[in-house]
Each structure stands twice: as C-alpha cells, then as structure tokens.
Homo-oligomer: A and B are copies of this chain.
Amino acid sequence: MNAQEKARYEVRATIIKAMGHPTRLFMVEELSKGERCVCELTDMVGADISTVSKHLSVLKNAGIVQDDKRGSQVFYSLLVPCVLNFFSCVESVLESRAKEQAQRTK
C-alpha cells in the first residue's frame, strides 16, 4: 500500500468508523424513520446533550447525515440511506456466528 492508496482507505475507513458506535448506530436507525431534533435524540439515547451533539457531528463530518437549523432547534436527517444496508449485513454476520456456534456444540 503506497501513500495514495493508504489515504484512499483512510477516507473510507472514517466513514465506516462513524457507523461503528452503538449510539451512532441507534441514531442512524432512528433517523431512517425521519428527521429528529437533537433534543429528541438526546431523550432517546439518555446521554448528555453535548455527547449526543458530538456524535451527530461525527456522522455529519462523515457525510452520512445533514443538519437543518430551524429556529432554536437543529434537525438532523439521513443523507445517504444506503448505510441502512449495514444493518442487514450485520445480521448476516450474527447468523453466521450462530451457525458456527451450533456446529461447535454438536
């Protein structure tokens, strides 16, 4: 891997890494149902609002969500819905693991 290739993989890894956190995963799933303001997500997540805000900025910097300031509230929405495909693939991985487990128990 030369420097150029490495940079290529780094950019891509950053986007995937943005999805690789439980809270952010939850928020993306929630945003798939429609836009939500920071306060709504904060209530659902149950963490400090500053923590939620930072998670959202990670997703925003990755280019996965966008924000829309309306009045004193900020609404976030999903920009690239294909990230939802991650969920089904993750389920496949879990199924595959379960089968492996079953095999070993036999």
State in angstroms the CA–CA spacing of A93 and B62 once bound together.
8
Given A16-B90, A80-B92, A92-B80: A22 and B6 within 8 A (CB)?
A: yes
Per the CB 8 Å criterion, the residue count for chain A at the interface is 43
Of A31-39, A69-77, A81-89, which binds chain B?
A: A81-89
In the assembled complex, which residues on chain B have CB atoms less than 8 Å from the CB atom of A97? 63
Question: A10-35: contact bitstring with B at CB < 8 Å (1 yes, 0 no)?
Answer: 11111111111111111000000000
A1 touches B26 (CB 8 A): yes
B1 touches A25 (CB 8 A): no
Those 6 A-B pairs whose CB atoms lie nearest each other, nearest first: A17-B20, A9-B22, A82-B89, A16-B20, A63-B97, A20-B20
List the interface of chain A (C-beta within 8 A of B). 1, 5-6, 9-26, 44-46, 62-64, 79-80, 82-83, 85-90, 92-94, 96-97, 100
